[in-house]
Amino acid sequence: MQVTERFLHYVSYDTQSDEDSTDSPSTAKQKVLGAALAEELTAIGLQNAHMDEKGYVYGWLPATPGCEGVPCMGLIAHMDTSPSASGANVKPRIVRYEGETIVLDPETGVSLDPKEFESLSRYIGKDLIVTDGKTLLGADDKAGVAEIVSAVEHLALHPEIPHGRIAVGFTPDEEVGRGSDGFDVEGFGAAVAYTVDGGELGELNYENFDASKGVVTVHGVNIHPGSAKNKMKNALLIAHSFVGQLPAEETPAHTEGYEGFYHLGYAAGDETTAELHFILRDFTREGLEQREETLRTIAARLNDQWGEGTVEVTITEQYANMREKIEPHMYLILKARAAMEACGITPEESPIRGGTDGARLSFRGLPCPNLCTGGANFHGVHEYIPVFALEKMVEVLVRLVTVETHE
Ligand SMILES: [Zn+2]
């Protein structure tokens, strides 16, 4: 089966995950695709291909004769789609792109405008898979799944290509931050792995945010406003003052690249109590610790002013930059660069301004950088992927696992 056909088939499954669910997987429908994938991997010839009760799919392609000693390499992608946009009744359409604005939904006017989405200009003359403007596409990450399945199918059909043992893993619930929770690192048995979950062709990531969250609770004192002079401590105003003491330019809307930020994502309360939820992000541990310290310093300052115990800060670590776990295995990055270049793709290394399952797996002992899928505009109705990008990534993955024989 061709990778495009395979991709179009996978996006017909609704696999949206749900952050409010405590089940594993968070939505049972992810297992429908999981079961189909386990069956497909078996049909291709992978060993012991199966889905476990939490919806994780695993399978192994044995090494070709003579390559049994090559360390097992893992290829990982996620099956779920983002809760930010519907993934039900996805109606993908292939359009030959000629540089125009692509109207996705004539009724609502939802369009892909090259003025808004500049990278479209790279794809003039190419076939793009787009949505009908009502759902996301699901290239994140069914493109990764389709590329991996097509790559192992190619290897199974071409036993003359030498490779070590390959472990394939498909996870549920990546989009709700729990994709690595139930991942059986030991059973997977790979020495190293790649997630195939990035954006446009060339993207290669092995750095991500150091992340924590801070919850600020303000305890005020409420008195009838008519007789409150020198008595009321309005928790909302104290919370407001807290926000005002943060550096105004260090927010997601003012930062990019390696710059970190404070992000206020939730605020609620009344005169008596108020709560602020922040996420803190940086690319170094020291940078993140400084941000945590800033929250504590502001709290201390307000407590001096309003009385001890008025403002409380609770910090929780979320995830860490995988860079330190990848650095001892830099050959993973060299290999990925070489595989892309051999396929005519220029690698573009960039830090991920977020977390990845690969980062979490790296800290659990499976070094795991991230490769592109070729898709763009993830998590919304503007998502698309060029057909040739799907095909290129199959080639890249085959290259990546091929053992150089120098004969
Ligand atoms: Zn993804």
CATH 3.40.630.10 range(s) for the chain read: 3-207+321-401
Name the catalytic one among 14, 40, 80, 210.
80
pLDDT at 406: 62
pLDDT at position 355: 85
The answer to whether residues 73 and 368 touch, using CB atoms and an 8 Å cutoff, is no
Residue 194: strand pairing partners: 75
Is the Cβ–Cβ distance between 185 and 74 less than 8 Å?
Answer: no
> In what helix (H) or strand (E) does residue 155 lie, and over which residues does it extend?
helix 139-157
From ligand 1's centre to the CA of 144, what distance in Å?
Answer: 9
pLDDT digits 0-9 by tens, 81-135: 999 999 999 999 999 999 999 999 999 999 999 999 999 999 999 999 999 999 9
Q: In the annotation, is 407 catalytic? A: no
Contacts of residue 114, defined as CB under 8 A and 6 or more positions apart, other chains included, come to 99, 100, 101, 120, 121
> What type of residue is 177?
G
List, for residues 11-69, the tens digit of each pLDDT value: 999 999 999 999 999 999 999 999 999 999 999 999 999 999 999 999 999 999 999 99
User: What is the reported pTM?
Assistant: 0.90
Distance 369 CA to ligand 1 centre (A): 13
- Angle between helices 285-306 and 235-244 in degrees, nearest 10: 140
CA of 20 to the centre of ligand 1 (A): 19
* pLDDT surpassing 60 at residue 215: yes
| The CATH number of the domain covering residues in 212-319 | 3.30.70.360
Residue 18 alpha carbon to ligand 1 centre in Å: 14
Q: How confident is the model at residue 265 (pLDDT cuts 50, 70, 90)?
A: very high
pLDDT of residue 45: 97
Distance 75 CA to ligand 1 centre (A): 14
Is residue 59 classed exposed, middle or buried when 0-12, 13-18 and 19+ CB atoms within 10 A define those classes? buried
Residue 244 pLDDT > 80: yes
Q: What is the pLDDT of residues 266-282, one digit of tens each?
A: 999 999 999 999 999 99
- 174, 250, 282, 383: the catalytic one is 174
The tokens describing 325, both together, are 């776990």
The alpha carbon of 368 and the centre of ligand 1 are apart by a number of angstroms equal to 14
Q: Is 132 part of the annotated catalytic residue set?
A: no
3-state secondary structure labels for all residues of 214-237: EEEEEECECCCHHHCCCCCECHHH
| CATH 3.30.70.360 intervals, the chain | 212-319
CATH of 3-207+321-401, one of 3.40.30.10, 3.40.630.10, 3.40.190.10, 1.10.3430.10: 3.40.630.10
18 preceded by a cis bond (ω within 30 of 0) = no
How far apart are the CA of 207 and the centre of ligand 1, in A?
16
| 3-state DSSP assignment of residue 160 | coil
